[in-house]
Amino acid sequence: MKSMADKDLDIEVVFADKDEQKVVELSVVEGTSARAAVGLSGLQLSFPDIAFSECPLGRFGSRIDDNALVVSGDRIEVYRALRLSPKEIRRRRAS
């Protein structure tokens, strides 16, 4: 239960696969971790084949730890695993 001391923080949680991008705007309490925010976002309902608990996270393009606390205005990004490394992609393009 939220106490009067808890502040609401307005954040976004974003995820994109090859065909679709989803931006979820949330209001969470102070002290919410990045991983918890992903869980609250409901993204797993839109992308049921993705294991969101294992995906790396970022904030405005920089990797962050699962336990990093969100702050108002954050854009928490959920990164998907690359099927090929950038090096392999360049190698295939060159051949």
Residue 95, both tokens:
């051949």
Q: Which residues pair with 62 in a beta bridge?
A: 59
Residue length of the chain: 95
Q: Domains plus CATH for the chain?
A: 8-94 (3.10.20.30)
What confidence tens digit (pLDDT) does each residue in 68-78 have? 999 999 999 99
The answer to whether 78 touches 14, Cβ cutoff 8 Å, is: yes
Please give the pLDDT value at position 19.
86
The reported pTM is: 0.79
Q: Name the DSSP class of 80.
A: P
